[in-house]
Amino acid sequence: MKFYGILPERKLWVKIAAVVIGVFAVYDAYANKNWFYVPFGFIIILATFSSRKQVVSEEGVDVEYSILGYCFHNLWKYEEILAVHTDKRKSAPNVEIHINKGAINRRFIFSLRDANSVVDLIESKKPEIKILEVNHKR
């Protein structure tokens, strides 16, 4: 079973602005013979047409990046995961699940029902891990 995290949709004006900035960067690099900024402009334009999915599955925790139909995976297997924390307060009514691998932390947002299933899946794949709630006391 795969569980997909909730990600915000990019707004249209942000996409248009990124394309305009990318085209301007390429044009400015060409006009001023400063070829260093040409790749920068193309990368901004390509990033506009990219998408990302957060997936928790039997294999592990994955972030799938898709650029022009080509998919890149950044999979963390359950053996690599060191800590898991939940936060039911910050993104209410949804639940944030923080998954740590060393010093790196990934934040996934799930509906309450999916979050409970994800926690059960993580506990079944890695029974020795303790899943704690984030402490908001200051």
Q: What is the pLDDT along the chain (138 residues), one digit of tens a residue?
A: 888 888 888 888 988 999 999 999 999 998 988 888 889 889 998 888 888 898 898 888 999 999 888 999 989 998 888 888 988 888 788 888 999 988 899 999 998 888 888 888 888 888 888 887 877 776
- For residue 134, which phi and psi values (nearest 5 degrees)? -65, 135
Q: Please name every residue paired with 131 in a beta bridge, in sequence order, or none if there are none.
A: 84
CB atoms near residue 137 (< 10 Å)? 3
96 with 86: CB under 8 angstroms?
yes
0.85 surpassed by pTM: no
Predicted pLDDT at 27 = 92
Q: Which residues of 30-40 are buried (b: 16+ CB within 10 A; e: fewer)?
A: eeeeeeebeee
Residues 74, 54: Cα–Cα separation, whole Å: 10
Strand ranges (E), 1-103:
3-4, 50-56, 60-67, 70-77, 83-87, 95-101
